[in-house]
Amino acid sequence: MVLTGAGISTESGIPDYRSKGTGLWERYDPIQKASLSALISNPTGFINFNIPRWTRYLEAEPNTAHLVIASMENQGLIEGVITQNIDGLHVKAGSKNVWEVHGHLRTCHCMECGRSYPFQQLTGQFEKGINPPRCERCMGMLRPDVVLFEDPMGRDYYRALEALKGCELLIVVGSSLQVYPVADMPKYAEKLIIVNKEPTPWDHRANLVFHSIAGEFFAELAKVLNLE
């Protein structure tokens, strides 16, 4: 199986979170900007900070790494992808078995009545100057279907843990392996490969470590595996 983090999407124009000096959470406190308490205490500020950035994610396209991973699944070389990313690029690339453990940007829901909407319901209101966006039914506040800091993990996380049972090899791509509980997932695999630009806390336990850009690594892997 493959486990991916923000580093796999940087070549699609999406900045990562924890690279030294450039990562988003190196410059901002995530609890103040992207937590459940931030959404509740300052919804206008939360929306102003996050929605323009997340809207850009929706415009991104899969890169070589996403496409090769989808091809590997299609060829039966991997069972599927567990991703920390909310950008939906694995789905766009054609991966079928995708566990989005931190949620996604395809839908949103009302925090009062729970009614679900396409994500465009939230962004459309924001573009019209409605902040925070509201539910059509009860006027409750809309929030994206992503796992914020302080949120409990969603169903995909527990489904991913089930899928990892008996995993012979986990390839970790573009993850700092610092955000829990996902950072504990490598312990469920018999063997571990890590592909990340910077060292991770799991490097010393991995069978192979490549301090490489994801696209370059998977372009070479595709040649070895004779994948298109």
Report which of 91, 78, 76 is spatially closest to residue 9, judged by C-alpha positions. Answer: 91
Q: Tell me if 135 is assigned to a ligand binding site.
A: yes
Q: Tell me if 108 is assigned to a ligand binding site.
A: no
With vertex at residue 223, the alpha carbon angle to CA 217 and CA 224, rounded to the nearest 5 degrees, is: 90
DSSP letters for 111-172: TTT--EEEHHHHHHHHHTT-SS-B-TTT-PBEEEEE--BTSPP-HHHHHHHHHHTT-SEEEE
Q: Are 196 and 176 in contact (CB under 8 A)?
A: yes
| Active site members | 102
* Cβ neighbours of residue 136 closer than 8 Å, sequence gap 6 or more: 115
* Residue set of the binding site: 110, 113, 135, 138
Binding site for Zn(2+), residues?
110, 113, 135, 138
